[in-house]
Chains A and B, each alone.
Chain A
């Protein structure tokens, strides 16, 4: 495969030049298609104060196919499973090549602010959310404190 497509170069440059508030995305030094991402838990969400590590990979067919994104930090969320996989329409069938890394990360940040237990990936978490939202939020907050504090992330 010849060099990196101009689109990926430009996106990376723009991400560096104008970063999104609460999100950092840095390309891996050995693989320009692999990004180390950190998303800050949005305020007024159970994830507030947490720093969540994600990995983002741009497949060969990007932007014709969606980036592959996964949470590395454990998170208690109805749309994110134990392996960190994310249930988000724009990463699946609603992907459009006009979307970009920036919009994907913003959508993930928004997902943290607005969990959607009606379209769950992890049924246990979703059931918990639906049956006792208060307790589920408490649990999410607890996980945030336990797994997503900067010290445990080695940031």
Chain B
């Protein structure tokens, strides 16, 4: 029977397993092992109330180690876990400017990986999965050591966050003490660092760890709470809290905290271990050898889950069967999810808003629990500001008014200390947001900022309620609002820090090289057309080029959008205009087209090209990016014009790139054109042209033309047929076989077979060019006939 139950369990047939265990217990009498099996089965089906009862029984009948609670832990995690691929989460986490996507702290030694996301070097080195934590791209060949730090980001961070940078230095020092188990000194250094960067959750978390290591759990708990408030979406904060609570023997609270941690990240194995330990403590309140244990066995024991639920959730939850407990867990899951989605940027406000959201929810949940005085105050402040946030919401919905929004907010919350009217001023941080330099934190300002924060968060939770998708809420926050909330110095915002070193404009689609330098994607592409080295450091970019990477450096993109909104919009506009300019090429009569000077091409005939010259690499790229996918092909001439007066448009069918940036372009001839005037563009030739289209065959000529076609097609076929087979196969390889005589009259470009004949016959290019100019099919056929006669005559001689 037990084997059967185990088998059912191992095949995920948990309810069946539970049934069998239950029957076995009634038939064979209770044992610890059977109860454990039953409990595990129930836990995996999500019937936690029953499961806890069984676990309690298992503890009563024998010794159970924490490891045995594995399935309970899995079951609990399954209930609360968040789908990471869930839209809200990723959208929010993409919004990282100065924040590491992994540790969520200020970027230290930022490294931009091929997908365009940036992490601390340490965080990347620690992660062996080679998977980007933001976009989940797997970089199989990623070698962090071979990527240099992102120069632009490093400079920006040092300039904009000097105090936080110093604090990060101290953090390193502290971490070294931790490694040496010198917790006292670590504590001292962390505290010093926290004074410089009071909102750095990593620092507080580390100090929290140091306290816990010194068994100072009360202090540790205080720090953990701070961390969770700062970064409600950061799993480790909950782990720290759980660890402190565990140390304080508050096992129920600890279990909840660990569960919150695991809800955010199911992979934290230490949290799993501690969760089972905490559950073990809850379930085995008294050690089995305790004299009281026996007495307890006889007594009806309230299930521990009830206690757990009672002390942590609402009073309603515990009294009722599974469904309610289930929904309690669902509630927990929902809170956690809401919290994640509000996340999170180092310098933008979602942090406190998330915290706010979370605390408020908790206040609702814990109707009778003892929330702290501070929470009470915050709650009050929030409701007082309920009126204000409507105003804010109103202005927020009008991005153009975001500066007014700033004024409004300032006015309503606190007497203004400065005039926010000038544009530069409007970028001033509201001082409260993290990171804040201690020098800014005069009590008055702290108070003001506190109110502002509350307002902002209230506002955002309103947004939350209104729009179910979190993505919307984090994106809807207007640019200026975010900007003003950053902790950076206004005088630091120098647009030249974000200018491409090649075009001297604001970056557009900034890309980062492995050597850590940044350029507009198009600028770097152009430079790579000429030489495969970094324009700044001359580092080899062959591998970079071969990968044909296009990913934009997210952080910089977002910084520009946030802090230089108007300038960035202007830059986008310029780019759009440039693209429109390119896209116009060849679209209208008498328009300007790019000209490839190489050979004669013919309508409807394929023309493969090997592209290696820098200027033509650029030309092809522009043709592809603008979507025109066509350019003019003209013959080289020795006069000062440089290329022939007539040519053919080539349409790009396919481009195959070599790793070194050269390419083979498969094209086919289209319209013919006459050059009206010549010009140049970024190194290649352009021309204003007039397209040549065949005139319709006169009704009286139709008969003649058709006869000519039949006769000449046969003649061409015969001519090819008499060629040596080697020549024949070469012709077929290059131009294909002689196209069939199309019964329908070909379009404005003329019948395909006739161009095939012009291309294949041994003609002087001047003759071919002359044929190209003829807009009358009849004239062309007559000319072709003459040519064929001449060729045949010469052959027969």
Task: Assess whether A64 is in contact with B504, with CB atoms less than 8 Å apart.
Answer: no
Complex Cα distance, B522 from A97, in Å, reads 13
Interface flag for B651 (CB, 8 Å): no
CB-CB nearest in chain B for A10: B504
Q: Does B526 contact A (CB under 8 A)?
A: yes
CB neighbors of B among A52-79 (8 A) = 60-61, 63-65
Chain A residues with a Cβ closer than 8 Å to the other chain, count: 15
Q: A55–B503 Cα gap in the complex (Å)?
A: 23
Whether A96 pairs with B538 at a CB distance below 8 angstroms is yes
Contact of B786 with A by CB under 8 A: no
Write the nearest CB–CB distance from B551 to chain A, whole angstroms: 22
Known contacts A64-B529, A64-B614, A1 near B504 by CB under 8 Å: no
Q: Nearest Cβ in chain A — how far from B570, in angstroms?
A: 12
**Which chain B residues lie closer than 8 Å to A6 at the CB level?**
503-505
Chain B 499-539 against A: per-residue CB contact (8 Å), 1 yes, 0 no?
00111110000000000000000010011011101011010
Give the chain B neighbours of A65 by CB distance below 8 A: 530, 683
The reply to whether A61 and B683 form a contact with Cβ atoms under 8 Å apart is yes
Is A7 touching B681 in the complex (CB atoms < 8 A)? no
Does B584 lie at the interface of the complex (its beta carbon under 8 Å from any beta carbon of A)? no
Interface of A is mostly: loop
A60 touches B683 (CB 8 A): yes
**Across-interface contacts of B523 in A (CB, < 8 A):** 97
Inter-subunit contact B680/A60 (CB<8 Å):
yes
Find chain B residues with CB under 8 A from A96 CB: 527, 531, 533, 535-536, 538
CA distance A61 to B685 in the complex (A): 12
**What's the nearest-Cβ distance from chain A to residue B544, in Å?**
16
A5 CA / B505 CA spacing, docked (Å):
10
Taken together as a complex, chains A and B put the C-alpha atoms of A46 and B681 apart, in Å, by: 43
Q: How far is the CA of A17 from the CA of B460 in the complex (A)?
A: 47
Given contacts A10-B504, A64-B530, contact A97 B683 (CB under 8 A): no
Contacts of A97 in B (CB 8 A): 502, 523, 526-527, 530, 535
Asked if B504 contacts A60 (CB within 8 A), the reply is: no
Distance of A98 from chain B, by nearest CB (Å): 4
Chain B nearest CB from A126 CB (Å) reads 27
Q: Give the Cβ gap from A128 to chain B, nearest Cβ, in Å.
A: 34
Give the residues in chain B near A1, CB-CB below 8 Å.
679-681
A60 and B682 contact, CB distance less than 8 A = yes
Q: Is A28 an interface residue (CB 8 A)?
A: no
Is residue B94 contacting chain A, with contact meaning CB distance below 8 A? no
Is residue B615 within 8 Å, beta carbon to beta carbon, of the partner chain?
Answer: yes
- Give the Cβ gap from B549 to chain A, nearest Cβ, in Å: 19
Q: Report B680-695 CB contacts with A as 1/0, cut-off 8 Å.
A: 1111000000000000
In the complex with contacts A60-B682, A60-B683, A97-B535, A7-B502 CB distance below 8 A: yes
The yes or no answer to A118 lying at the interface (CB within 8 A) is no
A5 to B523, CA, bound (A): 13
How many residue pairs at the A-B interface have CB separations less than 8 Å? 45
In chain A between 1 and 53, which residues have their CB closer than 8 angstroms to a CB of chain B? 1-2, 5-7, 10-11
- Which of A7, A60, A61, A98 has the most CB atoms of chain B within a 10 A radius of its CB? A98
Distance from B569 Cβ to chain A, minimum over Cβ atoms (Å): 16
Nearest Cβ on chain A to B621's Cβ, whole angstroms: 13
Residues of A within 8 A of B535 (CB): 96-98
| Count of residues in B whose CB is under 8 Å from the partner chain | 23
Residues of A within 8 A of B581 (CB): 2
**Complex Cα gap A97–B505 (Å):** 14
For the complex formed, measure the closest distance between the CB of B673 and the CB atoms of chain A, giving whole angstroms.
20
Q: Mark B530-568, 1 if CB is under 8 A from A, else 0.
A: 110101101000000000000000000000000000000
Give A6 to B575 CA distance when docked, in angstroms.
13
Which residue of chain A has its CB nearest to the CB of B679?
A1
Residues B683 and A64 in contact, CB atoms below 8 Å apart: yes
Complex CA–CA separation, A11 to B503 (angstroms): 10
**What separation, in Å, do the CA atoms of A6 and B506 have in the docked complex?**
11
CB-nearest residue of chain A relative to B536? A98
Cα of A98 to Cα of B531 in the assembled complex, Å? 12
In the complex the two chains form, what is the Cα distance from A65 to B684 in whole Å? 13
- Residues of chain A with a CB closer than 8 A to B679's CB: 1
Interchain CA distance A6-B504 in the complex, whole Å? 7
Q: Are B503 and A98 in contact (CB under 8 A)?
A: no
With A64-B527, A64-B614, A98-B535 as known contacts, state yes or no: A7 contacts B504, CB within 8 Å: yes
User: Judging by beta carbons under 8 Å apart, are B502 and A11 in contact?
Assistant: no
Contacts of B682 in A (CB 8 A): 60-61
Identify which of B501, B614, B615 contacts A98 (C-beta below 8 A). B501
Task: Verify B502–A98 contact, CB threshold 8 A.
Answer: yes
- Cβ of A64 and Cβ of B536 under 8 Å apart? no
Complex Cα–Cα for A27 and B526 (A): 26
Nearest CB of chain B from residue A115's CB, rounded to whole Å = 25
Smallest Cβ distance from A15 to chain B, in angstroms?
13
Q: Enumerate chain A residues within 8 angstroms of B501, measured Cβ to Cβ.
A: 98
Contact flags B642-682 to A (C-beta < 8 A → 1, else 0)? 00000000000000000000000000000000000001111
Using Cβ atoms and an 8 Å threshold, which residues of chain A touch B530? 64-65, 97
CB of B615 within 8 A of CB of A11, answer no
CA distance A97 to B519 in the complex (A): 11
B526's partner among A10, A64, A98 (CB-CB below 8 A) is A64
Enumerate chain A residues within 8 angstroms of B529, measured Cβ to Cβ: 64
CA distance A60 to B614 in the complex (A): 13
- Separation of A6 and B520 alpha carbons in the complex (Å): 14
Query: A94-118 toward B: CB 8 Å interface, digit per residue (1/0)?
Result: 0011100000000000000000000
B501 → chain A closest CB, angstroms: 5
A7 and B503 alpha carbons, distance in the complex (Å): 5
CA distance A23 to B581 in the complex (A): 38
The residue of chain A having its C-beta at the shortest distance from the C-beta of B538 within the complex is A96
Q: How far is the CA of A98 from the CA of B614 in the complex (A)?
A: 17
B723-741 to A contact mask, C-beta < 8 Å, 1/0: 0000000000000000000
The minimal Cβ–Cβ distance linking B581 to chain A, given in whole angstroms, is 8
Picked from A2, A60, A61, A63, the residue with its CB within 8 Å of the CB of B502 is A63
Identify the closest chain B residue to A63 (Cβ). Answer: B502
Q: Which A residues touch B527, using CB under 8 A?
A: 64, 96-97
Whole-angstrom CA separation of A62 from B603 in the bound complex: 35
Q: From residue B148, how far is it (CB to closest CB) to chain A in Å?
A: 16
- Kindly report which residue of chain A lies nearest to residue B581, judged by CB atoms: A2
Bound complex: CA of A60 vs CA of B618, how far in Å? 14
Expressed in whole angstroms, the minimum distance between the Cβ of A62 and any Cβ of chain B is: 10
B615 touches A61 (CB 8 A): yes
Most buried by B among A6, A7, A11: A7
- Which residue of the partner chain A has the closest CB to B615? A61
Which residue of the partner chain B has the closest CB to A13? Answer: B504
Q: How near does chain A come to B635, taking the closest CB pair, in angstroms?
A: 22
Q: Kindly supply a per-residue 1/0 record for chain B positions 444-471, scoring 1 wherever the CB is within 8 Å of any chain A CB and 0 otherwise.
A: 0000000000000000000000000000
In Å, the complex CA distance between A131 and B581 comes to 59
The minimal Cβ–Cβ distance linking A3 to chain B, given in whole angstroms, is 12
Shortest CB distance A41–B (Å): 30
Q: How far is the CA of A36 from the CA of B612 in the complex (A)?
A: 35
| B503 and chain A: residue at smallest CB distance | A7
Q: Chain B residue with minimal CB distance to A8?
A: B504
* Nearest B-chain residue to A5, judged by Cβ: B503
Closest CB in chain A relative to B369 CB, distance in Å: 61
> Within 8 Å CB of A64, what residues of B?
526-527, 529-530, 614, 683
Q: For A7, what are the chain B residues with a Cβ–Cβ distance below 8 Å?
A: 502-505
Partner pick for A11 among B504, B505, B681, CB 8 A cutoff: B504
B614 proximity list for chain A (CB < 8 A): 64
Inter-chain CA distance A7–B530, complex, in Å, is: 19
Select from chain B the residue with minimum beta-carbon distance to A14.
B504
In the complex, residue of chain B having the shortest beta-carbon distance to the beta carbon of A7:
B504
**Lowest 9 CB-CB distances: which A-B pairs, in order?**
A98-B535, A61-B683, A7-B504, A10-B504, A96-B535, A98-B536, A97-B535, A98-B501, A97-B502
Further contacts, 8 of them, CB under 8 A, given A5-B503, A63-B502, A98-B536: A1-B680, A1-B681, A60-B680, A64-B527, A64-B614, A96-B527, A97-B526, A97-B527
16 chain-A/chain-B pairs, Cβ below 8 angstroms: A2-B581, A5-B503, A7-B502, A7-B503, A60-B682, A60-B683, A61-B683, A63-B502, A64-B526, A65-B683, A96-B527, A96-B535, A96-B538, A97-B523, A97-B530, A98-B535
